Structure 1
């Protein structure tokens, strides 16, 4: 398994590559992203075990979206079976990755109690509005930054781990290791990628929404829906396709088995 070190500009190229893939089949990729969201939401509804079941499924579903991006790029068929079929690709390892990620996330939230006395943890685990109202006025800035710091190496280890486990049949440990090393070697393009996503998914939609609200201030809800829904159906599939673009460029298309 070999990872290439790419220049900083590669991060922006991943976003553009993701958009290029999206443009080839926007309807199907948009539908698959919506199916992904509804699947995760439905699983989370399951009492008690819902969060765990969703966490176990997310790595496989993420691989399914990357598989869809790869198929679209290659001109191959794409459908709902593409999204759900990847759950069977080294499924045990993917489930373990999901469980470990959940544990790491809960661990980071638990450690945030050292900063804010547990306010952020209680807010995130609140099951209803009344429970959240107790701590919603708390200042989460410092604890959120603390959690982001703890989760950064976790995200590096998990970024490519599902696809390495599914497409390369790597074990949990090797998938996490190679993912972390690949991200470490390419921290500059990933920094560019992150800044690019902030602009594309945050700044530009916000500016557009602000301008339209100034022009038509009396239709705030309608304008927000008109801007938000299409942006989500364009930006979200583009972002998922960009995950595949980053894998393709760092590990090389020849690495796919």
Structure 2
């Protein structure tokens, strides 16, 4: 596997390409964004087990998203029954399940490593007879920052792994290695990509705050902001595909797609 080295401006180009993919089939990707949001909401209704399931399912959800974008790029309309077809491949499904468990283990390990050095401070803030919210927020600041740094490494390790396993049939260890190498070679585009998305979500949050401050009711504000947030999330999901294709190239198309043929029709 050869990962291309792209200029920093590729970070913006990925978002533009993601937007262009979304424009080709907006209803399909809006539907996927809605379903993903609903799944996240449902998992939070099941304490602990729901969150564990969601984390372990992330590689599979990513693979479904990439395959949908592949169909959209090829000009094939995404029908409701097509979304789960990629997971019918037993080899890909088994690899993604193992990848999901590895992702869960890494996230749990990162949480443990991030919390352990600050455990005394957190317990002191919680055991204080007079609850001090400021002290608790100060105590958890360190773990959050530490976990954030560790999660950047985890994200690089797993970013391209679902496609490498599902499309290229690589072993998990190989997929994780090539994903990390690809992200390291393109660290500046990914930094710009991440910073831009943070900025876009901040703008959306600010818009919601402005609408609420203007006197609109919470219900009306939510009715306005919910579809906006879903569209932003859908474009984010679409942008995953160009991050992969621009780095690893058209070789991903060597594997059969959901319909059993390659995009060139063979």
Query: TM > 0.5 between the two?
Result: yes
Greater alpha carbon shift after TM alignment, 2-11 vs 204-213: 204-213
Report the CA distance shift for 1:46/1:255 in structure 2 as closer, same or farther (over 3 A): same
1:154 Cα offset (Å): 1.2
Q: Which whole-Å CA distance do the structure 2 matches of 1:48 and 1:8 have between them?
A: 39
Aligned to 2:119: 117
Larger radius of gyration: 2
Q: Which whole-Å CA distance do the structure 2 matches of 1:120 and 1:160 have between them?
A: 35
Give the aligned length. 243
TM normalised by structure 2 equals 0.81
Report the CA distance shift for 1:254/1:172 in structure 2 as closer, same or farther (over 3 A): closer
| Unpaired runs of at least 5, structure 1 | 122-132
Q: Which whole-Å CA distance do the structure 2 matches of 1:120 and 1:186 have between them?
A: 37
TM normalised by structure 1 equals 0.84
Report the CA distance shift for 1:43/1:83 in structure 2 as closer, same or farther (over 3 A): farther
Matched, 1:94 2:96: yes
Report the CA distance shift for 1:209/1:245 in structure 2 as closer, same or farther (over 3 A): same
| Unpaired runs of at least 5, structure 2 | 124-130, 256-266
> Equivalences for 1:1-257 in 2 at 5 Å?
1-42=1-42, 49-89=49-89, 90-117=92-119, 137-139=136-138, 140-202=140-202, 204-214=203-213, 216-217=214-215, 219-256=216-253, 257=255
CA displacement, residues 141-185 of structure 1 (integer Å, 9 cap, x when unaligned): 211111112222211010010111111111110110110000000
Aligned alpha-carbon RMSD (Å): 2.6
Q: Which whole-Å CA distance do the structure 2 matches of 1:206 and 1:45 have between them?
A: 24
